[in-house]
Amino acid sequence: MPNPSEQSSCLVLENFIGGKFVPCRTHIDSYDPSVGEVYCRVPDSGAPEVGGGSGGAAKEAFPGWSARSPEQRAQVLNKLADLLDANVEEFAQAESRDQGKTVTFARTVDIPRSAYNFRFFASSLLHHTNDCSQTDHMGCLHYTIRCPVGPLEPPLYLLTWKIAPAIAAGNTVVAKPSEMTSVTAWMMCKLMQQAGVPPGVVNIVFGTGPKAGDALVGHPDVPLVSFTGSTATAQCITERSAPYCKKLSLELGGKNPAIIFADADLDRCIETTVRSSFSNQGEICLCTSRIYVEGSIYSEFLERFVAAAKKWKTGAPSDPSNDNGALISKEHLEKVRSFVALAKSEGGTVHCGEGVDQLHLPERNAKGYFMPATVISGISDSSRVMQEEIFGPVTCVSPFDSEEEAVSKGNGVRYGLAATVWSQDVGKVHRMARKIQAGLVWTNCWLVRDLNLPFGGMKNSGVGRRGERTPTTSSPSEKKKKKKKKKKRRRR
Radius of gyration in angstroms for the set of CA atoms belonging to the chain, rounded to a whole number:
23
Please give the Cα distance from 88 to 342 (Å, whole number).
41
d(CA 392, CA 283): 5
Report how far residue 459's alpha carbon sits from residue 438's, in angstroms, rounded to the nearest whole number: 8
Facing residues of 471 across strands?
A: none
Strand stretches in 63-139, DSSP E: 132-135
If we measure between CA atoms, which residue out of 230, 270, 199, 222 comes closest to residue 390?
230
Residues 6 or more apart in contact with residue 347 via CB below 8 angstroms: 378
Question: Contact 33/72 with Cβ under 8 angstroms?
Answer: no
Rounded Cα distance, 228 and 211, in Å: 17
User: What's at 462, amino acid-wise?
Assistant: G
Contacts of 212 (CB under 8 A, 6+ apart): 44, 45, 46, 49, 50, 176, 205, 206
Nearest-angstrom CA–CA distance, 420 and 55:
41
Dist CA 27 CA 211 (whole Å) = 12
SS3 call for 321: coil
> Which residues contact residue 229 at a Cβ distance below 8 angstroms, ignoring those fewer than 6 apart?
155, 209, 251, 252
Q: What whole-number distance in Å separates Cα of residue 491 and Cα of residue 44?
A: 57
- Tell me the one-letter amino acid at 434: R
How far from chain centre, in Å, is Cα 304? 30
Q: At what angle do helices 88-99 and 111-125 cross, to 10 degrees?
A: 120
CA distance 492 to 481: 34
Catalytic residue among 251, 283, 294, 468: 251
CB distance 277 to 373 below 8 Å: yes
CA distance 29 to 15: 15
- Residue 58 per-residue DSSP state: H
Phi and psi, residue 206, nearest 5°: -95, 155
State how far the Cα of 327 lies from the Cα of 283, in Å rounded to an integer.
8
The verdict on whether 331 is a catalytic residue reads no
Q: How far apart are CA 325 and CA 281, in angstroms?
A: 7
Distance CA 185, CA 172 (A): 16
Catalytic residue positions, numbered: 251
